[in-house]
Amino acid sequence: MTLKQLSYIDEIARRGTITDAARALFISQPSLTSAVHALEKEIGITIFSRSRDGVTLTPEGDRFLGMARQLLEQAELMEEMYAGEKKGRRRFSVSSQHYSFAVEAFVRLLKEYGGDEYEFHMRETQTYDIIDDVSHLRSEIGILYLNPFNETVIRKTLHENGLKFEPLFRAKPHVFLGKDNPLAAKKLIRLEDLAPYPRLSYEQGEHNSYYFAEEILSTEECRKEIIVRDRATLFNLLVGLNGYTICSGVISEELNGPQIIARPLDVDDYMEIGYILPSGNRPGTLTENYIRYLRELTDLSADEDPG
């Protein structure tokens, strides 16, 4: 197995066809096909399924590619450090629940380390998909929360997928709402205050278990429920319909604007927000710097009153 073979696999996966990958790599299609077959024979798995429309990764190939990309990143960093050579574009992926601080850390990382060429992914997605992305190395890091209600199930799922959870900070539950919502005048909101207003939650797809809900206290009864898929829609509905969602209270006015505010919720609960990584892999340089930015931002947020 060579780094060149790993780079071939990476290029094929990105292009979707061996023909397009061979053209991008400036080698013949038969040579590329032969290199893939030789690698598959060596490692004893089938990396790609072939069809008339191109190639797709097998489940084994998907996991192999994630590990291959980590090796390629480390090789590039070593070349930059010891040979002074900058090779190719930087690649980095994050999968996260919908937290503005995770996006802000991503922005800082990209500005400092993106360079002239890069391919960065910021996936705000469903809880189960965050775990799946990191376990299959499609993302280098995932951001999610634990609390007394979901911790046993989430930790069990992480363990089954070979992942570890590292805490960033503990937050008391807050209510996000529009600044003109009648509840905005309250310094402390009770659960009964929320009853007349629509609750907004993020869709969790086929893994729609309460334990995978992004919102704390999701089992509380609610007569008006709106399910959304993205943060922009949720914030628009908070403002337009006087809705609310329950969250950590950490908000970035720079990214989300002044229309959304946070008020503390009067409940005996908490959110332990942190990141997940593969248990056996050492984080790459970009991942370590992303974690540094996460800690800087969340340490700062912990010192401020988000309301």
We report the CATH number of the domain holding residue 77 as: 1.10.10.10
What is the spatial distance between Cα 128 and Cα 248, in angstroms, rounded to a whole number?
Answer: 19
At what angle are helices 18-25 and 3-15 packed, to 10 degrees?
A: 130
Domain boundary residue among 86, 107, 125? 86
Q: Average pLDDT for consecutive 10-residue bins of the chain (307 residues)?
A: 88 85 88 90 90 82 83 75 64 91 94 84 93 86 95 95 94 92 94 94 81 87 90 89 89 71 92 91 85 88 46
11 within domain boundaries: yes
Distances (CA, A) of 183 to 151, 258, 265: 30, 16, 11
Question: Which structural domain, as residue segments, surrounds residue 79?
Answer: 1-86
In this structure, the answer to whether residues 174 and 268 fall within a common structural domain is yes
Q: What is the pTM of this model?
A: 0.74
Return the pLDDT at 301: 52
82 within domain boundaries: yes
238 within domain boundaries: yes
In this structure, the answer to whether residues 176 and 268 fall within a common structural domain is yes
98 within domain boundaries: no
Return the pLDDT at 305: 44
CATH number of the domain where residue 181 is located:
3.40.190.10
Structure tokens at 302: 């912990």
153 within domain boundaries: no
What is the spatial distance between Cα 127 and Cα 240, in angstroms, rounded to a whole number?
Answer: 27
181 within domain boundaries: yes
161 within domain boundaries: no
State the total domains in the chain.
2
Return the pLDDT at 88: 60
121 within domain boundaries: no
CA angle 108, 109, 110 (to 5 degrees): 95
What is the spatial distance between Cα 107 and Cα 273, in angstroms, rounded to a whole number?
Answer: 19
